Structure 1
Amino acid sequence: MGPADPAWWAQRYRTRGDDVGDRVAAGTPVVGVVGADVPVELVEAAGAVPVRLTGDPGPPSAEARHVLGAAVDAPTLTLLTRLLGGSAAGLAGLVVSRDCQSSLAMFYALRELRRLDPWRGLPPVHLLDLLHLPRASTTAYDTAEVLRLADVLTGWTGRAPLGPDAPAGALADALRPARALRERLLLVQQRRRAAEPTVTGSLALHVHGVVSTVPAAEAVELLDALLAADLPALSAGRRVFLTGSVQDHDAHYAALEDAGWHVAGEDHDRGDLALTVQVPAEPTAGALALARQRRGPASPTASVPDRAAWTTAEAARCGAHVVLSLVRAHDEAPGWDVPAQRRALAACGVPLVTLVGQPHRTAPADLLAALAAPAVAA
């Protein structure tokens, strides 16, 4: 079994990030990434492997709950559980992007834990505060933030990714495979959205999860093998588009697909929303900052009208018969989008089904009951 087989991606997805120790033992620094705003090309230019971290859809530890409190989005609690349990061992550092309040809370908690208990072995942590307003002042602020991150990475890895001390062409060399990777991810998206799709929603989710934990050049080779495979067309089924909270596990996709639905797309940053980040051609801090500033709208950082327009347009491109908004407890921002999303989708004749206040894993029966509503069946 290899990367031409969807089962390989499913297995690798469940163990993504587990090879940090092997990379470190081989002499390659690894930098943990939390959130969607971190310019991973800059991390690679600093000579490190960027690994986007994830929690576990199991229950968080009592210590994580004690540190952050119970009123925090479940993925943040489970990620902190893993970090406190030793999964951060070997990381050269951890970059947390301020893309939601839960991530910000985790940054402050980790910074304080390092101060209070330096023998615990937690890595140094850095907050990257990128903004997304369409203003020149925002671009200037974000550029300064990227330059500050470059200095931090230099201290962690001993290799400057930018500036006069950087190896010649370091950032340009990192941008090339990143562009190639995005091109291949767009091909995966096309095959998922096709009239006769050969890529399931689960496979697409697995692909996004795996490639966010390996160097871009390695990810390109893996995707080339998948794209060269002769995958069978899926049987015709109803198409659902997911909105709401970011999905950091595949249980909901699997439950929907087991019931005959095709998860044709989503608007969260562990899926199709990640493809809105254009990889710049210019190897500068300003170009990296602008690429993240202009990424597609996420609930915690974008206006409600922008989110509604984006969800509606993407659902239409996917040929969705219904949009399912799955919003976890303590993840309030996606719930604010619902009224405007419902109005915009109704104007296109697409029903919106909502499940709000959900646990980390929604029961399959609840998912299917929501999609069995009369408005959806019509």
Structure 2
Amino acid sequence: MSAALAQLTSHGTDRRAAADDWRARHHGAVIGYVGADVPVEYITAAGLLPLRLSGSPGTPSTAGDRYLGTGLDPVARSVLTRLLDHDFGPLDGIVVSRDCEASLRLFYALRELRRVDPASELPPVHLVDVLHLPHRTTTRYVRAKLRQLRATVETWAGRSIDDAALADAIAVHERLRDLLTRVAALRRLRPARLTGAQALSVVAATTALPADRATALLEELLTEADLLPEHEGHRVFVTGSPHDTAHVYTALEDAGLLVVGEDHDWGDLLSLRRTEAPTEDALAERYQYNGPTAPRASIRDRAEHTRRAAQDCGAEALVCYARMHDDAPRWDYPAQRAATGLPSVLLSRQPYGALDDEAVQALTGLRPHAAVAR
């Protein structure tokens, strides 16, 4: 494994390490955030570190279950548990996007726990509500919400965010998205130079590292691309629930598949939309038109995006992974299956970060003339 890939996959797996290093080196504040609708450019512009919060599959979420109930997406319950256990280290603020119902309920729980239970030592929390309708009135609404976030981040940082600093942060994150797009292409080569699990870990690392450090590592990885091992497998496109860890991708690839693309916002969708200019207005439009994600986009838009993306990846099959208590993917799947025309399978009501035995068996039909084993 290349040195850059080793560092990126390490940070993608151990996300707290980057935050601890930031605190030690820069004595700077760390802001946790939930959801790809959070404009991280403001956090970077204020000289703070944005750390995207993830759950921990296989770890009991007892505290999260107590406050959110067991009928909610297990990722939100796991994130709340980790926050209450201080697994991410000291955070100076949390920004939650209203990207789905689970995130919204997580925000309300955090706000209320901070109010009624000072012993929880939770940091201040802010909700950013980005709408995705294609209207000018929506753009005005999103601009207003982004200005509120800007003011909140300025309060946390103890300094103002001037337009020049914001423009610089936009440019840095645009460079990061460009590099992520180039890195994603490595798993679409024949043979691939990255596995799907590696690519997902690389993306996760860039949501934990400072943007300039993430950019340097991605540039180094691209220079080493020809030295990376080759990978073969039946090429699949993954749709459905987002994956904040590589556990499911690893299980799929252990079964002889190769994940060459996906349409969730911990993967390719995170870097798809670009900012047209280094201004706050352009930033608002970037997040307004970000997506399309399963909880916020229409079935038609999702199906068309999946069709194009799967075709661009050279996918040979479609896998829809629907996590327990995440119902949106099952509504999208019939239209996606019809639009792609690919052999496909729906893995429904799956445990967080894993495949059940029935799902493993269902995958056997995707690989012609080959058995799929765990």
TM range (shorter): over 0.9
Q: What is the Cα deviation at residue 228 of structure 1?
A: 1.2
Following superposition, the deviation at residue 184 of structure 1 comes to 1.0
Aligned pair partner of 2:247 in 246, 251, 256: 251
Structure 2 distance, partners of 1:123, 1:228, is 40
Query: Counterparts of 1:189 and 1:318 in 2: how far apart (Å)?
Result: 10
* Aligned pair partner of 1:242 in 211, 231, 238: 238
TM-score normalised by L of structure 1: 0.92
Superposed displacement of residue 366, structure 1: 4.1
Question: 1:294: Cα distance to partner?
Answer: 1.2
Q: SS at the partner of 2:17?
A: coil
Separation in 1 of the partners of 2:151 and 2:87? 25
Gaps of 5+ in 2: 370-374
Structure 2 distance, partners of 1:105, 1:158, is 28
Deviations 1:260-302 (A, max 9, x none): 3211001110000112221342322x21110011112001100
Displacement of 1:364 in angstroms is 6.7
Mean CA deviation greater in 108-117 or 11-20:
11-20
Q: Partner of 1:18: helix, strand, or coil?
A: helix
Structure-1 residue corresponding to 2:308: 313
Aligned to 1:189, which of 184, 190, 194?
A: 184
1:260 equivalenced with 2:260 (yes/no): no
**Structure 1 residue 335 displacement after superposition:** 1.3
Alignment partner of 1:353 out of 331, 345, 349: 345
- Whether the aligned pair in 2 keeps the contact of 1:252 and 1:364 (CA below 8 Å) is no
Match of 2:209 in 1: 214
Given candidates 336, 340, 344, the residue that maps to 1:341 is: 336
SS of 1:47 mapped into structure 2:
coil
Secondary structure class of the residue paired with 1:263: strand
The answer for unaligned runs of 5 or more in structure 1 is none
Corresponding residue SS for 2:31? strand
What's the CA shift for 1:2?
A: 6.5
Which amino acid in the other structure matches residue 66 of structure 2?
Answer: H
Relative distance call for 1:266 and 1:151 in structure 2 (3 A) is same
After TM superposition, the structure 1 = structure 2 runs for residues 1-378 of structure 1, keeping only pairs within 5 Å, are 3-4=3-4, 6-25=5-24, 26-87=26-87, 89-161=89-161, 166=162, 169-229=164-224, 230-232=226-228, 234-284=230-280, 286-346=281-341, 350-363=342-355, 365-373=357-365, 377=368
> Which residue in the other structure is 2:372 paired with?
none
- Number of aligned residue pairs: give it: 367
Checking the alignment, whether the CA contact within 8 Å between 1:237 and 1:262 is kept in structure 2 is yes
Give the root-mean-square deviation of aligned CA atoms.
1.8
Contact 1:327–1:358, Cα closer than 8 Å, also in 2: yes
- Residues 351 and 376 in structure 1, CA contact (< 8 A), matched pair in contact too: no
User: After TM superposition, what 4+ stretches of structure 1 lie above 6 angstroms from structure 2?
Assistant: none
State, as a whole percentage, how many aligned pairs show the same letter: 44
Distance in 2 separating the partners of 1:97 and 1:82: 18
Deviations 1:149-175 (A, max 9, x none): 0000011111222xxxx3x61111212
User: In 1, distance between residues paired with 2:170 and 2:340?
Assistant: 37
Q: TM-score normalized by structure 2?
A: 0.93
Native 8 Å contact 1:178 1:216 kept in 2: yes
Residue by residue over 1:313-333, the C-alpha shift from the partner in whole angstroms, topping out at 9 and shown as x without a partner, is 111111111100010111111
Structure 2: how far apart are the matches of 1:304 and 1:51?
31
